[in-house]
């Protein structure tokens, strides 16, 4: 696999162009499914290690009702205690991997999209210092791992498959990193991030 060195400061300059409005918002064309979308939010966490930026992912517990065993970004459903969706993303991140909200520098909002399981996900991009100690909540997370942007943008780890759902065909983005298959909403959000950074795989 080819090795690309991506300068963290150049990537940070690009990330600073994000705002509090989603960079991309998918129109919901699935009204005929009858789903009522629940608000949820995730954090796309970045950190610098060995001179390059990594993306943090979680592997969800097999005991969870939704998306069991899948690779995801930390996050979850908005609760009444959350003043905003950003607060949801930070609270859930703290609960799932032990990363305190004050330890995250938020760049902005990446995207908002509906899922087939009835959630409207808003994704925020933030960065934390690699010195933070992360601890997975065993009730929700089986594993925490990171992948360098240089690896994720390599075309060798990315593929697109078309899948039919309720009579429509949708492209799904798959990323294969060291045996982890990143796909679904997480794959689409990752592709959106790489595209925004002008690093598509």
Q: pLDDT tens across 108-118, in order? A: 999 999 887 78
List phi, psi (to 5°) of 40. Answer: -145, 165
Instruction: Quickly state the pLDDT bin for 1 (edges 50, 70, 90).
Output: very low
Task: Give the C-alpha distances (Å, rounded to integers) separating 133 from 130, 146, 159.
Answer: 8, 14, 33
The secondary structure of the chain in percent helix, strand, coil, rounded to multiples of 5, reads 25, 40, 40
Is 42's pLDDT higher than 70?
A: yes
Query: What is the residue extent of each domain of the chain?
Result: 8-196
Torsion of CA 119, 120, 124, 128, to 10 degrees: -10
Q: What is d(CA 112, CA 60) in angstroms, rounded to the nearest whole number?
A: 21
Q: How far apart are CA 106 and CA 117, in angstroms?
A: 27
Tokens of 75: 């996050």
- CA gap 53, 126 in Å, rounded: 12
- pLDDT at residue 148 above 50? yes
Q: How far apart are CA 62 and CA 65, in angstroms?
A: 8
Query: Contact, 40 vs 76, CB < 8 A?
Result: yes
CATH fold label, 8-196: Nucleoside Triphosphate Pyrophosphohydrolase (3.90.79)
Q: Does 35 score more than 70 pLDDT?
A: no
Classify burial at 8, counting beta carbons within 10 Å of its beta carbon; exposed 0-12, middle 13-18, buried 19 or more: middle
Average the pLDDT over 8-24 and give the result.
94
pTM for the model stands at: 0.91
């Amino acid at each position: 696999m080819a090795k690309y060195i991506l300068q963290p400061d150049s990537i940070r300059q690009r990330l600073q162009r994000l705002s509090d409005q989603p960079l991309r918002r998918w129109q919901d064309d699935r009204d005929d499914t009858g789903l009522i979308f629940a608000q949820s939010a995730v954090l796309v966490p970045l950190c610098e290690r060995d001179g390059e930026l990594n993306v943090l992912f979680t592997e969800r517990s097999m005991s969870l009702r939704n998306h069991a065993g899948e690779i995801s970004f930390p996050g979850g459903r908005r609760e009444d205690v959350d003043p905003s969706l950003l607060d949801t993303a930070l609270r859930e991140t703290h609960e799932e991997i032990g990363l305190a909200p004050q330890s995250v520098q938020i760049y902005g909002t990446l995207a908002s999209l509906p899922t087939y399981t009835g959630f409207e996900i808003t994704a925020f991009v933030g960065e934390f210092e690699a010195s933070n100690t992360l601890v997975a909540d065993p009730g929700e997370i089986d594993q925490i791992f990171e992948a360098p942007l240089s690896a994720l943008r390599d075309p060798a780890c990315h593929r697109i498959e078309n899948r039919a759902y309720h009579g429509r065909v949708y492209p799904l983005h798959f990323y294969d990193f060291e045996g982890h298959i990143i796909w679904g909403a997480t794959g689409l959000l990752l592709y959106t991030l790489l595209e925004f950074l002008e690093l598509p795989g």
